[in-house]
Structure 1
């Protein structure tokens, strides 16, 4: 690793370590958000711009460092900012944070993995080059795959950063809407497990697979 890579990795490790050392994860639980709801809304009403910026920065930091709590933060976005404004903030914050995680994985680990597993990575890169946007879009729509895993894994491929960003923003929009909308009814939510019902997960899966299947179908047509 280069000195710059070592410094960046050290900063990331310190930030993640501090998050758990100081029990900051306790603030990113459903129970805590519900408990602090009155105080948070009072702060939002008193300083709306600062509240929006603070929320966005926290969301970007959590997703950029691949920390737990993004789902709860998305619900909080709906509870504090409403459906449309909350969706807008979460959409950009989550996409920016995901791209930062993507870039960190690429900058820190891609060269090392390429040096040790070049042949295997070349095969993956070829597939991503061919179906990158469609493949990523499918992964983003299917809520069975943790988004932080997708962010880090895609950073190890050759997909372009701009492509990763815009496909992620569009692909995550449907799920963002579902969770932000659920957050507008925060008082009625007792657990995170009930937000995505099996039929809804199935619908997302079909929607996510459709672009990739359509592309494959078109490729089989005679030219």
Structure 2
């Protein structure tokens, strides 16, 4: 019961959240529509606003709701890229670590006992270069954040390695999206000039995908593959010694 109760609670909260539509509030149009109220609250209650943002981000990550990228942009928009990015790194790491610990205490033990020889060898290889593999998974914008939070628990990755890889791996993307968020106000103003009243109505056409350039994506891929260089060198040295 001690192992499974946290996972059951997380799954129950996820189900309630999805059925209640909590994740639907995490949209760019909601941010634009309420930006005046939100920026005023931040200006008057900066400490409380950052705390509320951090808690919301932790819950979003722990419950595996989509919208982490949006929240990161919102953090840059509301607090500036420096404070917003730093708060996001802290919150995302806490949320990811929470779900990792829950998965490790329940799913990890069961899967380890029932794993076949192939999975066992895969787990051993992953653990040997866990930091490099996790950095690759975190840096490359292909793998879902929730999956990378849970998968290391199944491979028995040490907590310290997981936390370090999470912090280092999410820093580039987090600050990049926070910088995008910090410039969002000028985009909204341009939309207001073209379509007056769209901000208050939440109808301004601002696509997050349009703000993320191909060059930015390519940079993330380059960082991800750079993280695998130590693994490749290790394998090459191993082959040269065996020859």
Relative to the length of structure 2, the TM-score reads 0.84
Mapped contact 2:108–2:156 kept (Cα < 8 A):
no
Indicate the SS of the match to 2:228.
Answer: helix
Does the C-alpha gap of structure 1 residues 60 and 180 become closer, same or farther in structure 2, counting only changes over 3 Å? Answer: same
Whether contact under 8 Å (2:61, 2:96) holds in the other structure is yes
Q: Indicate which of 190, 215, 224 corresponds to 1:208.
A: 224
1:118 Cα shift? Answer: 4.2
Give the drift of 1:182: 0.7
Give CA-to-partner distance per residue, 1:26-68, whole Å, 9 cap, x none: 2211111111111111111121111111110110111112111
TM-superposed deviation, 1:185: 2.0
Alpha-carbon distance in structure 2 between the residues aligned to 1:219 and 1:100: 33
2:70 is aligned to: 72
- Rg bigger for which structure? 2
Write out per-residue CA displacement over residues 141-199 of structure 1, whole angstroms, 9 at most, x where no aligned residue. Answer: 11111111111111111211111111111111110111101111224271122233223
| 8 A Cα contact 1:139 1:208, kept in partner | yes
Structure 2 residue aligned with 1:175: 173
CA contact (8 A) 1:91 1:172 kept: yes
Distance 1:207 1:41, change over 3 A: same
Q: How does 1:24-103 map to 2 (within 5 A)?
A: 24-103=22-101
- CA distance in 2 between counterparts of 1:20 and 1:204 reads 30
1:214 to partner: Cα distance: 4.1
Cα RMSD after superposing both structures: 1.8
**Alignment coverage as a number of residue pairs:** 221
Q: TM-score if structure 1 supplies the norm length?
A: 0.91
1:120 equivalent in structure 2: 118
Q: 1:100 to 1:183 in 2, by over 3 A?
A: same
2:3 aligned to 2, 5, 12, which one? 5
Q: What are the ranges of 5 or more consecutive residues in structure 1 without an aligned counterpart?
A: none
Does the CA contact (< 8 Å) of 1:26 and 1:32 recur in 2?
Answer: no
Of 148, 152, 155, 2:153 maps to 155
Consecutive aligned runs of 4 or more in structure 1 exceeding 3 Å deviation: 218-223
